[in-house]
């Protein structure tokens, strides 16, 4: 059984949990260790299972809590060397291991596949986490889906997928034009429509669950983010993430039978 949970998702902090009965990995640690410990508890997850923290890129909403958390859990932070040196020296983690984009990194019973993506960072990466032939993808902070991302989506049975903004809300909203252009650029974020099209065109036939992630507070709403996805295969669970609390824990069987905790 694989446990999948968004512990934090949004511009104020991101952290995604993928685990099984023995091991777990975190992708990003953008909120405080105190908050993460509270969210582990509320979700019924054991932080002692965490064997590694993988960092997508250097922006503070993905890295803010990594140094304290890695020391508390006694685990390494994995990132590219370019990401490490893009961080202010005071924020660089002590327990660090470097990977090269495209490398597959074994962590306990998981294999973490690393891939470059499009975002306005020095060497932004996404991850496909594999266990017993099942794959969970973490695809946020993507301006547009390159072939690395589409190829990985085709292999995933569950996704944390960015649905950052509604295009009309961004266009008509209060952001200054330079920021609107940055968000909507090929190195910015995925819109609801772009995310939906990515799933429609490239989803694995065995895709079970999508967590709509990194939803903008100013340029989107949960209702807007989910509305497009009502048109996909009803067998696929579509779930929301939150910037304020841990989300639902989704349980994915490695024998292709699916159970879940929480309500739909």
Task: Tell me the fold of 2-260.
Answer: Metallo-beta-lactamase; Chain A (3.60.15)
Look at residue 43 and tell me whether its pLDDT is greater than 70. yes
127-159 per-position pLDDT tens digit: 999 999 999 999 999 999 999 999 999 999 999
Element holding 153 (H helix, E strand)? helix 147-153
210-234 per-position pLDDT tens digit: 999 999 999 999 999 999 998 888 8
Longest dimension (CA), the chain: 49
User: How many angstroms separate the CA atoms of 58 and 84, rounded?
Assistant: 7
pLDDT band for position 197 (50/70/90)?
very high
Look at residue 262 and tell me whether its pLDDT is greater than 80. no
> Is 86 in a helix, a strand, or coil?
helix
Boundaries of every domain in the chain: 2-260
Residues 153, 159 contacting (CB under 8 angstroms): yes
In terms of C-beta density within 10 A (0-12 exposed, 13-18 middle, 19 or more buried), how is residue 263 classed? exposed
Joined together, the tokens standing for residue 119 give 């975002």
Q: Rounded to 5 degrees, what angle do the CA atoms 182, 113, 52 make?
A: 90
Tell me how far CA of residue 90 lies from CA of 31, 63, 66, 94, in angstroms: 17, 12, 12, 10
Report helix angle 66-73 to 33-43, nearest 10: 60
> Is 5 in a helix, a strand, or coil?
strand
pLDDT for the residue 257: 39
Instruction: List, edge to edge, every strand of the sheet that includes 104-107.
Output: 104-107, 110-116, 125-131, 134-139, 158-162, 209-213, 237-240
User: How many angstroms separate the CA atoms of 127 and 136, rounded?
Assistant: 8
**This prediction's pTM:** 0.94
Identify which has the larger pLDDT, 96 or 253: 96
Q: Bridge-partner residues for 136, per DSSP?
A: 129, 158
Strands 237-240 and 209-213: parallel
Q: Rounded to 5 degrees, what angle do the CA atoms 210, 255, 202 make?
A: 35
Three-state SS string over 99-138 comes to CCCCCEEEECCEEEEEEECCCCCCCCEEEEEEECCEEEEE
């Amino acid at each position: 059984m694989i446990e999948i949970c968004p512990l934090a998702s949004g511009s104020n902090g991101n952290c995604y949990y993928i685990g099984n009965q023995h091991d777990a990995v975190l992708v990003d640690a953008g909120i405080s260790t105190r908050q993460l410990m509270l969210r582990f508890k509320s979700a019924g997850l054991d932080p002692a299972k965490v064997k590694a923290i993988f960092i997508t890129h250097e922006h503070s909403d993905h890295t803010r809590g990594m140094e304290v958390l890695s020391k508390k859990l006694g685990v390494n932070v994995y990132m590219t060397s370019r990401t490490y040196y893009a961080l202010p020296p005071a924020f660089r983690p002590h327990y660090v291991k470097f990977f090269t984009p495209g490398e597959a990194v074994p962590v306990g019973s998981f294999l973490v596949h690393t891939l470059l993506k499009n975002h306005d960072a020095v060497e932004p990466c996404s991850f496909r986490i594999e266990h017993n032939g099942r794959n969970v993808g973490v695809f946020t902070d993507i301006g547009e889906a390159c072939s690395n991302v589409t190829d990985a989506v085709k292999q995933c049975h569950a996704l944390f997928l960015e649905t950052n903004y509604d295009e009309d809300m961004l266009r008509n909203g209060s952001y200054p034009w330079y920021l609107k252009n940055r968000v909507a650029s090929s190195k910015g974020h995925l819109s609801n429509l772009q995310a939906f099209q990515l799933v429609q065109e490239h989803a694995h036939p065995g895709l079970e669950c999508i967590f709509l992630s990194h939803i903008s507070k100013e340029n989107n709403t949960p209702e807007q983010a989910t509305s497009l996805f009502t048109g996909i295969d009803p067998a696929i669970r579509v779930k929301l993430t939150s910037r304020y609390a841990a989300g639902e824990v989704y349980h994915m069987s490695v024998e292709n039978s699916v159970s879940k905790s929480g309500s739909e």
